[in-house]
Structure 1
Amino acid sequence: MKTRRFIHPATVFFLLTLLVVCVSWVGSIFAWEQVQNLLSAEGLRWMLRYAGDCFTRSSLVGAVLLLFLGGGLWVNSGLLESCRQYWKHERKLSRKERRGLFLSWTTGGVYLLLWLFLAFGPLNVVRSATGTLADSPLSDGICYVVSLGLGLMGAVYGFVTDFYRNDADVVRGMSGLFRILPEYFVTLFFVIQFFAVFQHSGLYLFLALPASIWKGIYCVCCLFPLWYGRPHRTL
């Protein structure tokens, strides 16, 4: 029995972007307050200048890239699957796998304690000039810190279980999520394009969307393609 195919999220956001452009034109005709016509000369100039930059300069894209590197080692090394099988008791893990789990989680625990000490200890290394975590180097680099921790745990598990033998294996492991979710960044491009066009058109101001709701919808739309593009088991 064939599974029902749905329209791809990238196509959905591409069509939504075209819809926003058309609605902005209609809004300019009816003089909607704060709505800019994206089909005007000024709107076309903006899209030519900033449409690509909205994606390449997005902080979200950089954060996802970093998390993919560390998360790739979790997936590629088998650590994620072993954790799932251990907690669900699907099968009995081998001695190497149990040892790998113990050492990887120990490594993660020590790594976490190190950063907790740097964040809340007497050393003011990763905190801001005022001694808080708000706008601190740690908060700015949290994605790097998390990715590095995930990568260390995955690498330890891979070497303990003999899945990794050298540095080349680790480098290939870091690309694991890029191979599993090759369409994610394509979809993310269209998601970011839609929100950039929607924001520049002024429609979000016309609809009076609160900033908190705007950010929540943006985050959900950026994360949804991860679920959509995940590998599905065949029955």
Structure 2
Amino acid sequence: MEKFDQRMEQKKETGKKGLFGKFLNSIERTGNKLPHPATLFLLLAVIVVVISEIAFRSGLAVSFYDAKYKTEKTVEAVSMLNAEGLRFMLNSATTNFTGFHPLGTVLVAMLGVGIAEGTGLINASLKKLVLSTPPKLITAVVVFAGVMSNVASDAGYVVLVPLGAIVFVSMNRHPLAGIAAAFAGVSGGFSANLLIGTLDPLLSGITNEALVAGSIEASILPTSNYYFMFVSTFLITILGTWVTEKIVEPRLGEYKGSHNTEDSMLVSRDEKKGLKAAGIALAIFAGVMLFLTVPENAMLKVDGSLKEFTYNGLVPTIMLFFLVPGLAFGIAAKTVKSDKDVIGYMSKSMSTMGGYLVLCFFAAQFINYFSHTNLGIILAVKGAEFLKSIGFTGFPLIVTFILVAGFINLFIGSASAKWGIMAPIFVPMMYHLGFTPEFTQLAYRIGDSSTNIITPLMSYFAVIVVFAQKYDKDSGIGTLISTMVPYSMIFLLGWTILLGIWYLLGLPIGPGAFIGL
């Protein structure tokens, strides 16, 4: 605790610039007084169990059309303080844990990352990056890479967030600032990209079902938000860079931890050989993957689609993306002499994940309890109905809708699940007020993305806490939330202003997609 107190004193000095700095310090101070994250998730699970009984006895229920599953639903609160609830808690505990999505994603990817790190490939690559990239651009590169990583689904959480810390500490900057910058790009900028990702067809499909449910003869394309999201990539990069360098780093102060890089930032002769071999191996690997995915009859396509590969095969591909060049580097740089070295690097990587496994167990129980009791869905529908009853029109309605979507995102992490509930209500409503379905979907995506980084219900939030604790053992949920609040606020404000400009100018938001009907 002495180290934490010293850090808080330092933050008091750097945070004297105004009430905002004191506000963030109070969030961290309060948040870090909470129990260990694993214990906190356990307590939250207990609270959900108790509230579920209260909600059940009060007859709490909602009815809505679920566009994701194309059916009318009536959802009632489910109690867990009965025989059925007890059976669920006991019988599902193991599958809740083993089925926790981030668990497999992180562990499988870390097998490859462990090879790349153990052989020295990551260290040598980062030294090369630091030496070749102007220091002023490092923050922007980290944020931009985070935004672009969304094309590869959840890879950014597993790879880029810890790499952000390594890059920053290698430049004598605070590693938590590197984690924050990468996390802001990966999660806060989830809907921005220069390319069409897996989320675009998923959301557009739900929007189309909502149009059918509303008896509206119209449909939208997966590219319907592309123009706006393309520009948003640069906006999020600029805003994320500014928040990191002007708010987050000054508040964190100087890093005095023990995770320093090697004394010499020079790339050795063996490392140069390894980097060359790794580059060749990576090029061959990329060529093989292109052959397996691009041609019309490619082996990884099913009925001409890569959907199955995107959802199930991408994480093992990420593992190979690190493993193949990692092995080539290790052999060329002489850090791999036998298969025992390879298994040793993998084992070492897995041994560092013990704390994460414990955290995942309790986080998985809490999130599944929240889903099983239907409390999240009830909260989402009630919030959506409230917004509909307000009766706003024009852009103020859009702004309110964005804020409600952002608020609901604090309680339901899945973007498709929330949109499946909200779309049947808001898409027809906005349509009859003169807004296109494409524009309504776009407004939802802004609210959904902006608050990803401040909700513990986001699946990878626990992972980021573990990454932060590697560099500062006193870091907790309070530290992460207080660090990310400025990004969330600035992203929400900046994105809404950009949408307002788009709205006033009447610009198309995608190919053949406009704001008004």
- TM-score norm. by structure 2 comes to 0.42
Matched, 1:223 2:463: yes
- Secondary structure in 2 aligned to 1:219? coil
Quote the Cα distance in structure 2 between the aligned partners of 1:185 and 1:87.
32
Aligned 8 A contact 2:291 2:298 in 1: no
- 1:20 equivalent in alignment to 2:62: no
Trace 1:21-170 onto structure 2 (pairs within 5 A). 21-33=49-61, 34-89=76-131, 91-121=265-295, 123-128=297-302, 130-135=303-308, 137=309, 139-170=311-342
Q: Take 2:348 and 2:281, find their aligned partners in 1: how far apart are those partners?
A: 21
Shift of 1:74: 1.5
Distance 1:187 1:173 in 2: 23
The whole-number CA distance in structure 2 between the counterparts of 1:191 and 1:182 is 14
Query: 1 CA distance for matches of 2:292 and 2:129?
Result: 32
**1:181 to 1:56, Cα distance in 2 relative to 1, 3 A:** closer
Corresponding position: 1:203 with 2:245: no
How far apart are 1:192 and its partner, in Å? Answer: 1.3
Q: Which runs of no fewer than 5 residues in structure 1 stay unpaired?
A: none
- Cα separation, 2, equivalents of 1:74 and 1:103: 13
Supply the AA of the counterpart residue of 1:201. T
Relative CO higher for 1 or 2, CA cutoff 8 Å, sep ≥ 6? 1
Q: CA RMSD in A?
A: 2.5
Q: CA deviation at 1:133?
A: 0.9
Q: Does 169-178 or 51-60 show the bigger shift?
A: 51-60
Q: CA deviation at 1:26?
A: 1.9
Mean alpha-carbon deviation: is it higher for 213-222 or for 117-126?
Answer: 213-222
Deviation string 1:35-69 (CA, Å, 9 cap, x unpaired) is 11111111111111112111123454323221111
Question: Identity over the aligned pairs, expressed in percent?
Answer: 26
CA contact (8 A) 1:10 1:190 kept: yes
> What is the match of residue 36 of structure 2?
8
Asked if 1:212 is matched to 2:398, the reply is no
Q: Is the 8 A contact 1:66 1:143 kept in 2?
A: yes
Q: CA deviation at 1:167?
A: 0.3
Contact preservation (8 Å) 1:180, 1:231: no
Q: Which sections of structure 2, spanning at least 5 residues, go unmatched?
A: 6-31, 62-75, 132-263, 381-407, 419-451, 474-517
The offset of 1:139, in angstroms, is: 4.4
State the AA in 1 paired with 2:320.
L
Q: Provide TM-score, normalisation by structure 1.
A: 0.87
Q: State the distance in 1 between where 2:96 and 2:125 align.
A: 37
CA distance in 1, matches of 2:362, 2:55: 23
Cα distance change on mapping 1:12 and 1:214 into 2, 3 Å = farther
Counterpart amino acid of 2:38? A
CA deviation vs aligned residue, 1:56-107 (integer Å, no higher than 9, x gap): 2345432322111111111211211222222123611111111111211221
Task: Measure, in 1, the Cα distance between the counterparts of 2:52 and 2:310.
Answer: 40
Q: CA deviation at 1:226?
A: 4.1
